[in-house]
Amino acid sequence: MNANPPIFKRTKLAQRLASQILANKVGSVASSGLFLAAPRRTGKSTFMREDLRPALEHSGAHVLYVDLWSNKATDPGEMIVSTVRAALHQNANVMARLARKIGVNTIAVPGVVELSLNQVGLGVAISLSDALADLSDELKKPIVLIIDEAQHAITSDKGYDALFALKAARDELNSSQHNGLRIVATGSNRDKLAMLRNSKDQAFFGAPLVAFPALDESFVQWFCEGVDLPAPLDPKAVMALFAKASNRPEILGAAAEELRFDFELQPGDVPARFEASVLAQISSAEKETLRVINSLTPLQSAVLRVMAARQADFAPFQEDTLSAYNVVLRSIAPHETLEPDGSNVQQALMALQNKGLIWKETRGVYAIEEGSTMDLMRQQGMLDMVP
């Protein structure tokens, strides 16, 4: 018996993407990288692991995968380096070649040269470019590095350094001397992901940024056919609910699970109960977000609202922005006497970051953590007073 849950496969999409990623054309991914944006919890990471990775491997690539969101306590730059080190650790020939390059000849095991993996990375003896080039040469395959939630890389100095190291590796491996390196970066927020490729001082300036296709009717059909409830679900009705759930599979799954554990559920009640459960799941998630927002101090709430309204144009300490905080503050807390200034706004930003509502790039650029938070605030009229 297979205890693993079934996974919806998107084989054709994976094959098309793999073909584009590995293509050698003027202006292709080879020369820049590929950035894919999709909201969190819409199946993007599952696709990367279960569909795209096998498709790339089937096409002859060696795939490395790192999810920068999997361990937020670890520096994102270190996570990227650790992924490369893990790949090297699996190949003794590459380890030996790298060791000889830096004059390490100690024999630890017969026929194997001893090399500490700490000597591979950022600002150490062996660069990521050298390590990846030797790995690709040994495998005689192009390497594809998939960085999931890549926007997290620019929240630390090491993350920035790792991106520039990968740019150097990309340029070296895509020369005629090697077998190629492709960088595929995904992110849950288009604006944040764009920061990795919008300006000339970014490592991947000009790389294409495209919307990752959302799950559609084919997923809903697959879900309805395999959900195994006391009565069938109408795919058209479920598709409408799926759209209300912002194309998040976990919402449908949670609703189905709730019905499965109702042992008195009658077949005729299944469609209505499923709809009610989906809507309840959506409402519960929204209420939790609103609960956090409603617990903010008036100034924290004002800062969050202005940031959500202005998005990429948000400049936290400009005079016009301070004036906007003040307008919002007088609207939501008429008796508040606090005047927004650089010091208390900085404290408010830190508090919002600690609460997981906003995200900070290492150079001081701020953004709302979840796009769904902005949508909910807009629906609730929380942004109407922002000038």
Q: With the C-alpha atoms ordered 323, 329, 335, 337, is the resulting torsion angle positive or negative?
A: negative
Q: What is the band of 97 on the pLDDT scale with cuts at 50, 70, 90?
A: confident
Query: Residue 180 is which amino acid?
Result: G
Note whether residue 384 is domain-resident: no
Checking 157-161 for CB contacts under 8 A at 24+ apart, the result is 157/77, 157/362, 158/75, 158/76, 158/77, 158/78, 158/122, 159/68, 159/75, 159/76, 159/77, 159/80, 159/362, 160/77, 160/203, 160/362, 161/77, 161/122, 161/123
Beta carbons of 303 and 315 less than 8 angstroms apart:
no
Note whether residue 333 is domain-resident: yes
Based on the domain organization, do 307 and 185 belong to the same domain?
A: no
Interstrand relation of 34-37 and 209-211 (parallel, antiparallel or unpaired):
parallel
Based on the domain organization, do 182 and 222 belong to the same domain?
A: no
Q: With the C-alpha atoms ordered 224, 229, 230, 233, is the resulting torsion angle positive or negative?
A: negative
Based on the domain organization, do 21 and 64 belong to the same domain?
A: yes
- How many angstroms separate the Cα of 68 from the Cα of each of 71, 364, 372? 7, 20, 20
On the question of pLDDT at 135 being above 60, the answer is yes
Note whether residue 346 is domain-resident: yes
Q: Tell which wins on pLDDT, 254 or 91.
A: 254
Query: Residue 285 is which amino acid?
Result: A
Mean pLDDT of 30-53: 92
Q: What is the band of 114 on the pLDDT scale with cuts at 50, 70, 90?
A: very low
In the chain, what percentage of residues exceed pLDDT 70? 92
Based on the domain organization, do 270 and 136 belong to the same domain?
A: no
Based on the domain organization, do 305 and 369 belong to the same domain?
A: yes
Confidence at residue 88, expressed as pLDDT on a 0 to 100 scale: 86
Q: What is the band of 30 on the pLDDT scale with cuts at 50, 70, 90?
A: low
Based on the domain organization, do 70 and 206 belong to the same domain?
A: yes
Beta carbons of 194 and 156 less than 8 angstroms apart:
no
Query: Structure tokens of 59?
Result: 């096409």
Confidence at residue 224, expressed as pLDDT on a 0 to 100 scale: 97
Note whether residue 367 is domain-resident: yes
Q: What is the band of 4 on the pLDDT scale with cuts at 50, 70, 90?
A: confident
Query: Structure tokens of 163?
Result: 């991106």
On the question of pLDDT at 300 being above 90, the answer is yes
The reported pTM is 0.89
Q: Could you give the CA distance from residue 374 to residue 310 in angstroms, rounded to a whole number?
A: 10
Note whether residue 319 is domain-resident: yes
Which residue(s) pair with 182 in the sheet?
144
**Going by C-beta distance under 8 Å and a sequence separation of 6 or more, which residues neighbour residue 241?**
252, 274, 275, 278, 279
Last residue of a domain, one of 292, 307, 338: 292
Beta carbons of 79 and 66 less than 8 angstroms apart:
yes
Q: Which domain range does residue 105 map to? A: 11-211
Based on the domain organization, do 275 and 321 belong to the same domain?
A: no
Q: Tell which wins on pLDDT, 92 or 87.
A: 87
Domain holding 92: CATH number? 3.40.50.300
Identify which of 143, 117, 142, 149 has the alpha carbon closest to the alpha carbon of residue 42.
Answer: 149
Last residue of a domain, one of 211, 237, 264: 211
Note whether residue 386 is domain-resident: no
Buried b (16+ CB within 10 A) or exposed e, 240-273: ebbeebbbbbebbebbbebbeeeeebeeeebbeb
Based on the domain organization, do 169 and 249 belong to the same domain?
A: no
Based on the domain organization, do 110 and 195 belong to the same domain?
A: yes
On the question of pLDDT at 24 being above 80, the answer is yes
Domain holding 321: CATH number? 1.10.10
Based on the domain organization, do 78 and 18 belong to the same domain?
A: yes
Confidence at residue 111, expressed as pLDDT on a 0 to 100 scale: 44
Model confidence pLDDT, tens digit, residues 175-203 = 888 999 999 999 998 888 988 888 777 88
Q: With the C-alpha atoms ordered 308, 314, 318, 324, is the resulting torsion angle positive or negative?
A: negative
Confidence at residue 27, expressed as pLDDT on a 0 to 100 scale: 63
On the question of pLDDT at 50 being above 80, the answer is yes
In 74-216, alpha helices (H) = 76-89, 92-101, 128-139, 157-173, 190-194
| Axis-axis angle for helices 270-294, 371-379 (nearest 10) | 90
Identify each DSSP E strand in the chain by its residue range: 34-37, 62-67, 107-109, 112-113, 120-121, 126-127, 143-148, 181-187, 209-211, 358-360, 366-368
Identify which of 145, 146, 149 has the alpha carbon closest to the alpha carbon of residue 188.
Answer: 149
CA 195 to mean position of chain CA atoms: 13
Token look-up 């890549």 returns 150
Note whether residue 2 is domain-resident: no
Q: Tell me phi and psi for residue 252, to 5 degrees.
A: -65, -40
Note whether residue 85 is domain-resident: yes
Beta carbons of 333 and 325 less than 8 angstroms apart:
no
Based on the domain organization, do 166 and 125 belong to the same domain?
A: yes
Tell me which of 95-109, 119-133, 140-154 is least confident.
95-109
Model confidence pLDDT, tens digit, residues 247-291 = 999 999 999 999 999 999 999 999 999 999 999 999 999 999 999
Structural domains counted in the chain: 3
Based on the domain organization, do 27 and 82 belong to the same domain?
A: yes
On the question of pLDDT at 28 being above 50, the answer is yes
Average pLDDT, rounded, for the chain: 90
Last residue of a domain, one of 193, 211, 229: 211
Model confidence pLDDT, tens digit, residues 203-244 = 888 889 999 999 999 999 999 999 999 999 999 999 999 999
